[in-house]
Structure 1
Amino acid sequence: MATPNYGYEKRQRELAKKKKKEEKLRAKADRKLEPESPGLMPGDPETDVASLERDPPTVPELPTKNG
C-alpha cells in the first residue's frame, strides 16, 4: 500500500485557502467600487445635494419643559 503524501495534501490545502482569500478580497473590492444601495444613486431626493438645497429637510420641533 502506498504511503500518504502529507506534504502534497498540505500544499493543496494552502493553495485552496489562498485562492479563497483572493476571491473574497476581489469580491470586497468589487462591492466597494459598485455601490448597490439605492440610496446612493445620483438624483435621489434623499441624498441629492441639489434637492436638499431647494427643499431643506423638515425637523420636528422638540417639546419644551412648559408644554
Structure 2
Amino acid sequence: MAKTNFQYEKRQKELEKKKKAEEKARRKLEAKNNPKPADGEEGAEGEEPEADDADDATDAPAQPQ
C-alpha cells in the first residue's frame, strides 16, 4: 500500500492560505480605493454622471453646417 504524501498535502494547504490572504488583501485595497457611498448618497452620486452624459448627447447634436 502507498504511503500518504503529507508534504504535498501541507504544501497545498499553505498555497490555499496564501491565495486567500492575497484575495483578501486585494479586496481590502479595492474597498479603500473605491469607497461605497453612504446609504443616503447612493442615488446622488451613482446616477449623476449617467444623467449628465445623456443630457450632453441630446442638447448638442454633432451636425456640422
TM-score, normalised to structure 1's length? Answer: 0.55
User: What is the total number of aligned residue pairs between the two structures?
Assistant: 43
Q: CA deviation at 1:24?
A: 0.1
Q: CA deviation at 1:8?
A: 0.4
Higher share in helix: 2
TM-score, normalised to structure 2's length? Answer: 0.57
What pairs with 1:31-42 in structure 2 (closer than 5 Å)? 31-38=31-38
Taking only the aligned residue pairs, the percentage that are identical comes to 51
Structure with bigger gyration radius: 1
* Unpaired segments ≥5 residues, structure 1: 45-67
Moved over 6 A (4+): none
